[in-house]
Structure 1
């Protein structure tokens, strides 16, 4: 994925990140996603893909990934309605290992 570094993509990524956080807290009914944290969103050059970086209190698990994939369509639909986007980007969830790397590197 070729990432965009424009100001427009940065604003769009911030809006998507805030709205996804709100959707997960207020609208998604899956208890496995309760302690999920959206740490960032990266847009590609043509805004067709939003790479959503996330962490979870209990760590990375296949069960968490499955629940995100199941809720992806709902989140994408709700995102399009709330942000009034003509084209809603495809949401791709990626585990954010930055925090873990910082913690483990700090102990050395």
Structure 2
């Protein structure tokens, strides 16, 4: 049976798992050097998920700051996606660079909220 890149299997190909980490590292390096967009604040790339056919990559980010600063950073990154793709192509020396889609990673905010609840429960003697 031929392999189909549009299969409904969620199994990750080892190459894309490796590329996930390489993309995360390279985008992080680029952000540390600084992009020219002043809207991009203190951003951390938490993870990258690339489709097996290398068509798309979800780039999950955490942003330090207010909701307004988070939104501004997201807009800045989305507007810089073409530049970031070009950078990745040169840095990783691969021909096919997926379309980048930047998304806020809410897991850190969620974890902090849980920590606050646990601290309150402990303070009230319920834990």
TM-score range, shorter chain: 0.7 to 0.9
The residue that corresponds to 1:22 in the other structure is 29
Q: Secondary structure at the match of 1:31?
A: coil
**Is the 8 Å Cα contact of residues 59 and 103 (structure 2) preserved in structure 1?**
yes
Contact 2:77 2:102 in 1 (8 A): yes
Q: What's 1:103 paired with?
A: 112
Distance change in 2, residues 1:101/1:10 (3 Å): same
- The structure showing larger relative contact order (alpha-carbon pairs under 8 Å, at least 6 residues apart) is 1
Aligned residues: 107
CA-to-aligned-CA distance 1:20-53 (integer Å, 9 cap, x gap): 1111221512233241110000011211111000
Unaligned runs of 5+ in 2: 1-7, 118-127
Aligned to 1:10: 17
The CA RMSD over aligned residues, in Å, is: 1.8
Moved over 6 A (4+): none
TM-score by length of 1: 0.87
